[in-house]
Amino acid sequence: MQFRDHEYPTETAATNARDFPPNSKAATKILDSAAIGIEFSKKVNNRAARPRKGFIASFDLSGDTTNETPLYKIMSTRKGAALRLKLYLTIILIGVGKPHSVSAPSSTYSRLFGLPDVSGPRAVNDALRWLAKSDLIKLDTAKGVPRTATLLSDLGTGGDYTLPVGTRNKAWTAESYFHVPSALWTEGWMATLNSAELAMLLVVLTELRGKTEMEIYFGPSEFKNRYGLSESLRHRGTKGLITLGLVTKRTGTARRTPLEVERKRSILAFHPKILDLDLQSV
């Protein structure tokens, strides 16, 4: 895959890049990431990635930790978590056609994620092996060419992958799915978000359930039981999204049902236009 010299591919990518000195490594990485993301997105006609909700959320709300989601396993070790998560989401994005296989140079993935030129491709190969060991992809054994990754079930069962069908967003089942818009790739965010920020963004996109804007909050132990992620990660990810302008937070009283006692909660409001996401079109 060949790409042109660095340009400002999109308005949002340009804005992100301008947070850094012109021609700096940080600005160049964001622009390069966006350019590659655009090429990947074109291959699937700018469609959103469609992970199943069971990839991120547990549907055993008893808090049974034996029911660990793939996202929980990816995030369980902080080192390399961002790369593993970004890589798997990217394979879901572009692996839509049967047999749901993707082949791209490790160096291309490395540039998409804004990794160092020398160590980045090696880190990508390590992440591919981790995903294969965790039964999320199957890797071919060919040498000397880009390795082909074939998707396995995004529920982490090790079974064959199939495209999610049926109900999107509003249904709350493991097999229902949510959208991760292609703007996450085409606007340079794959080189911008860290692991906690990306994980919390996935939580927000799951909780939206088809709405373009809404306020989100979690009751006591609800976040832990549903997503299995730590409070530390929740706070770090939320803080990062607030800094980036993707969410705002306020303290207020809220309840989910008329029978529930109102409590003071930290309430998040998501702002998709900052991310340049048109949630109605994906």
Tens digits of pLDDT across the chain (282 residues): 333 333 444 555 555 554 555 566 778 888 999 999 999 999 999 899 999 999 999 876 554 444 689 999 999 988 999 999 999 999 999 999 999 999 999 999 999 999 999 999 999 999 999 999 999 999 997 776 788 999 999 999 999 999 998 666 566 788 889 989 899 999 999 999 999 999 999 998 888 765 656 678 776 678 888 898 988 999 999 999 999 888 888 877 766 655 666 777 778 877 766 555 544 433
Rounded to whole angstroms, the Cα distance separating 2 from 17 reads 21
- Collapsing DSSP states into helix, strand and coil, what is residue 148? strand
Which residue type occupies 268?
L
- Look at residue 202 in the predicted model and tell me its pLDDT: 94
- Look at residue 1 in the predicted model and tell me its pLDDT: 30
What CA–CA distances, in Å, run from 48 to 23, 33, 81, 214, 277?
Answer: 30, 17, 22, 20, 10
Please report which helix (H) or strand (E) contains residue 137, including its range: strand 137-139
CB distance 33 to 19 below 8 Å? no
- Look at residue 95 in the predicted model and tell me its pLDDT: 95
- Look at residue 98 in the predicted model and tell me its pLDDT: 92
Rounded to whole angstroms, the Cα distance separating 251 from 100 reads 44
DSSP state of 168: B
CB distance 169 to 208 below 8 Å? yes
* Helix (H), strand (E) counts: the chain: 10, 6
- Look at residue 147 in the predicted model and tell me its pLDDT: 87
Rounded to whole angstroms, the Cα distance separating 256 from 258 reads 7
Rounded to whole angstroms, the Cα distance separating 44 from 75 reads 27
User: 267 forms bridges with which residues in the sheet?
Assistant: 250
- Look at residue 8 in the predicted model and tell me its pLDDT: 42
Starting at the earlier edge strand, list the strands of the sheet with 148-151: 101-103, 148-151, 137-139
Smallest CA-to-CA distance from 27 within 36, 17, 19 is with: 17
